[in-house]
Each structure stands twice: as C-alpha cells, then as structure tokens.
Amino acid sequence: MSDSRLMAIPDLNLLVALDVLLAEGSVARAARRLQLSPSAMSRTLARLRETTGDPLLVRAGRGLVPTPRAEELRRQVGRVVQDAEVLLRPATLLDPSQLDRTFTLRTNEGFVEEFGPRLVARIQAEAPGVKLRFAPKSDKDAMSLREAAVDLEIGVAGETGPEVRIQALFRDRFIGAVRSGHPLSEGTVTAERYAAAHHISVSRRGREKGPIDEALGQFGLQRTVVCMVSGFSAALAMARASDLIASVPERHTQGARAGMPSFALPVATLEVTISMLWHPRLDADPAQRWLRGCVREVCTAR
C-alpha cells in the first residue's frame, strides 16, 4: 500500500470522540466521559472541524449548539460507533443466573403496580442476583438515558433525541371505572350520562382538561371535574369510595380495578402506545438485551 493511500485513511478514533461530543454538546462533559483533559478534548474538536470542514458545535450564550451538519452526523455516527463496538466485543453467552447487578427502570406507578410483580418474579426465576429499581417519572431527563443512569424507560414515547432506541410494547385504551352499585354500572353509558356525572382528572401537571374533554366537546358536552390527582391508583381509590368516575388506561389498571365495574368510554379517544426506550450504548449488551426480553415477555402476555 502506498504512503499516499495510508495518508488518506481517516483516524477512526475521531468517530468515538464525535459521537460523545454530539451527545453531550459540551467539551467539558465529553472530556470527562472519555477521561481526557479539557484541552485534549478541545484539540480533538479542532481536528474534527478540520476533517469534516464544519464547525460542528458553535457558541450560543454560555453553551454550544450543533450546526445543521452536526445534526445530520448525529443521526449516523451513533450507529456506526455502536456497530464497531459489537464487532470488537468478545462473543460471550450470557448466564443470567450469574448476574449480580441492579437495573434501573423509569416508569409510572401504574406500570409498577400492574406489571412490576410479574416482572420481578420473571427475573428472579432466572437471575436471583438481579435487583430492579423503579425510578419515578419525575426523574425524567434526557441525560439519564444518555449517561445510563437509567437502563430502560417505559411509557408513552414523547420528544426524544435521535439516538434513543424505541420499541413498542402494547397499546392501551382509556375506560371508565366506578364503584359497585354506581348508576353507570348498569345500562348503556351514553356520552350524555357520562358527561352528567362528576369526574376525577388524572394529570401529573394538575391539568383539569384533556383529550376526553375535547372529544366530549365535539358533541357539545362538558363534564364536571371535581378533583385532580397525579396518578391512576389515587383516582381509582377515590372512585371506589365515592360516586366519582375515574377514566383510566385499561391494561395499566387491570389489577387495581378488581371488583369495580368498568365501561368503554362513549366518545372516541386515541389509544396510547406504551414503549420501552434505551440508549444505543446499551443496545448490544447481553444483559440489557435479556432485560428487555423479560420486559417484553411480561408486557405482551395476556
């Protein structure tokens, strides 16, 4: 091979540095992750700028923001680095019975109450040394997935970074639940009967109205919300002991609704897709893949 051909080969180590820099958006944080000094990381950024012919990260106030070229590269470089890591990782077979670690799953209380016991039992059957930590949704921030402080997030996928992996688990629909003997526990629940009753609104942000109210509004109807709670369990507990209606997701609350009459909502509302999300750096890890398989198996079982 000629010297000129050797000179044309790019330094592939720059791909790893580029992936970290674009994920962190900060020279200092990228330096910490790569265990480099800030000055060495700055020199690497300068090399990347020279190699790509683009500034990549530019100053905006006190921080750095990616250029359009950097945004384009971010969608590609993470996959390239991940594929390289898989190629270079020794082939090993996972023995779950030898695992001794704690996985952190960020999800809401409804998921923990409905699926948590089965998930723990499923995991303990194969890996008695594994512990699960269920982190509340209030901890939600993009950095947690990026830094692997959270192994897996479960819920409705909203705005995510382009590097986050998403896999759908199941779809859920909202239904109404009432106490035994409630007037709506018998007969056809029409939109008029539903709207005329008193309701509990479930919102972590304390919102009184939502998609159900928009659907009722198309019929010229408006429901009366008399209280707001932050979780479905609280809504069901109140509905069980009062004449209030709790409108909750069907699969998420199957156990919590035991003994309570329930009915399909008399207005059309969109189903929600419950997904699991994780950072690509965890994509090929055998233990993480096993964990995701356990979650998928528990959530898809009927």
Structure tokens at 224: 């009366």
Contact (Cβ atoms closer than 8 angstroms) between residue 166 and residue 157: yes
pLDDT of residue 285: 87
Domain with CATH 3.40.190.10 in the chain: 96-172+273-300, 174-270
**Cα distance between residue 37 and residue 29, in whole Å:** 10
Superfamily of domain 174-270: Periplasmic binding protein-like II (3.40.190.10)
Per-10-residue mean pLDDT, the chain, length 302: 51 84 88 90 90 88 85 79 69 84 91 94 96 79 63 80 82 95 95 96 80 93 93 94 96 92 93 90 88 94 73
Domain with CATH 1.10.10.10 in the chain: 3-88
**Cα distance between residue 206 and residue 36, in whole Å:** 44
Per CATH, the number for 3-88 is: 1.10.10.10
**pTM score:** 0.66
CA-based radius of gyration for the chain:
25
3-state secondary structure of 104: strand
pLDDT of residue 243: 96
pLDDT of residue 6: 45
Contact (Cβ atoms closer than 8 angstroms) between residue 27 and residue 64: yes
Instruction: Count other Cβ atoms within 10 Å, centred on residue 108.
Output: 22
**Cα distance between residue 95 and residue 92, in whole Å:** 9
DSSP summary character for residue 160 = -
Per CATH, the number for 96-172+273-300 is: 3.40.190.10
